[in-house]
């Protein structure tokens, strides 16, 4: 796997992370605007979704890094 390809997949994960956080924050603000005080539970659900997405992306990133390390170690052996 080339260095350009590795950074490309990392860039894609970074883009997804930034986009999901941005969408979440916009949704939280929009819910407040549309629903007023009734938005609180939905804002919590949105925040929980943002946290789950961030955790999932961190796991994917760790998995890819470990897999890449294992491949490099097997190539060296």
Q: Name every residue whose Cβ is closer than 8 Å to that of residue 47 and which is 6 or more positions away in sequence.
A: 24, 28
Give how far Cα 67 sits from Cα of 17, 22, 41, Å. Answer: 21, 29, 39
pTM comes to 0.77
Q: What is the mean pLDDT of residues 25-44?
A: 96
For the chain, the first-to-last Cα distance in angstroms comes to 17
Say which range, 2-6, 30-34, 60-64, has the weakest mean pLDDT: 2-6
> In the predicted model, what is the mean pLDDT of the chain?
89
Q: What is the mean pLDDT of residues 14-22?
A: 94
Kindly tell me if the per-residue pLDDT of 6 is higher than 60.
no
At 20, which helix (H) or strand (E)?
helix 3-35
Kindly tell me if the per-residue pLDDT of 1 is higher than 70.
no
């Amino acid at each position: 796997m080339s260095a350009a390809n590795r950074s490309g997949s990392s860039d894609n994960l970074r883009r997804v992370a930034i986009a999901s956080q941005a969408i979440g924050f916009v949704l939280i603000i929009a819910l407040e605007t549309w629903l007023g005080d009734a938005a609180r539970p939905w804002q919590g659900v949105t925040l929980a979704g943002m946290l789950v997405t961030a955790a999932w992306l961190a796991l994917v990133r760790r998995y890819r890094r470990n897999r890449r390390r294992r491949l490099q170690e097997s190539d060296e052996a």
